[in-house]
Amino acid sequence: TICYHEDFQEMVENVIAWNRLFELHSELIFQGRCAEDVMKAQNEGRTAIIFGFQNCSPIEDDIGLVEICHQLGVRFMQLSYNNQSLLATGCYEDDDSGITRMGRQVIKEMNRVGLVVDMSHSARRSTLEAIEISARPIAITHANPFFWCEALRNKTDDVLKAIGDSGGMLGFSLYPHHLKDKSACLLEDFCGMIARTAEMIGVERIGIGSDLCQNQPDNVVEWMRNGTWSNERDFGEGSAGLAGFPEQPEWFRDNRDFENIFSCLRKTGFSENEVERIAGLNWLEFFEKSFGP
């Protein structure tokens, strides 16, 4: 993520900072722009960093910036964060007016250049309309089913089915506020939810989208939730008593624990091929089809 509420110039400053990190730590990371870069990273023991926006704020009110952002290496852009944007409605708004006039044009331009439409933080009507309007499959990169955990960010059955029918992708979130029983969520419950979702939309349409933010100070999560749009502190899915990042479940402390999930998926009844798909092959295939014109 290189944008939450930043405008274009502020986003470019984040790109500059990342370019410096790529230079300083080239033995570990580099910028990924296509599926082939992911395979290159795997072969070389490095990590390909693919840029994405949590919000559409960097394009401001200029559709021409969509292509510029893609040229900078951005491959995912959410049409809204939690609030209303110029393009779509966020999931925290009381009224969902759907995709706006500008939103329809921006989706068309994103389709043209190969910038994936991401509706992770968007409201139901806006998400369904984005799926219908987009000529290319969209992604919900980090969310879970509403049937399992009734968080505002999680997605209803009709949205999930529309993602499956259109060839899109759903990335399962490991952010505790999106989990059943939050930080006390059981691994078996998480994998059971994945199995039910696979039955609903197809195992080819699902992957992991951990939404993992580690070693970040609380002012980072405050920026995510508040930006500069409010004089009052908004706690999002948290509360005054739990204002920072919630504690991760014991079975997924960080990236070292992915194997816990994959092992439990096998016990849940997924084949080895299906586990490999959920672990990354589905996303890789989606990248191959989505990141270019």
Domain ranges of the chain: 1-99+115-129
The pLDDT assigned to 216 comes to 77
Task: Tell me the average pLDDT across 130-158.
Answer: 99
- Residue 154, C-beta contacts closer than 8 angstroms, at least 6 positions apart: 143, 144, 145, 146, 148, 178
Measured over the CA atoms of residue 231, residue 217, residue 190 and residue 140, the dihedral's sign is positive
Question: What gap in Å lies between CA 194 and CA 188, rounded to an integer?
Answer: 10
Alpha-carbon distance of 126 to 142, in angstroms, equals 16
Task: Report CA 107 to chain centroid distance, whole Å.
Answer: 17
SS3 253: coil
Tell me which of 35-39, 168-172, 230-234 is least confident.
230-234
* Chain segment 75-125, per-residue pLDDT in tens: 999 999 999 999 999 999 999 999 999 999 999 999 999 999 999 999 999
Place of tokens 């004089």: 231
Please spell the DSSP secondary structure of 105-151, one letter per residue. Answer: HHHHHHHHHT-EEE-TTB-HHHHHHHHHH-SS--EE-S--BTTT---
Q: What predicted TM-score, i.e. pTM, was given to this entire model?
A: 0.95
288 has a pLDDT exceeding 90: yes
Whole-number Cα distances in Å, 242 to 69, 75, 91, 121, 178: 35, 32, 21, 21, 15
pLDDT of residue 243: 66
Q: HSE of 239 in the Cβ direction (CA atoms, 13 Å)?
A: 3
N- to C-terminal Cα distance for the chain? 22
Q: How far is CA 267 from the centre of its chain?
A: 27
As a whole-number percent, the residues of the chain with pLDDT over 90 amount to 88
Q: pLDDT value at position 234?
A: 82
Q: Name the CA dihedral angle for 16, 17, 23, 27, rounded to a multiple of 10 degrees.
A: -130
Q: Among the CATH numbers 3.40.1080.10, 3.30.9.10, 3.40.47.10, 3.20.20.140, which is that of 1-99+115-129?
A: 3.20.20.140
Q: How confident is the model at residue 214 (pLDDT cuts 50, 70, 90)?
A: confident
Both tokens of residue 280? Answer: 């990354």
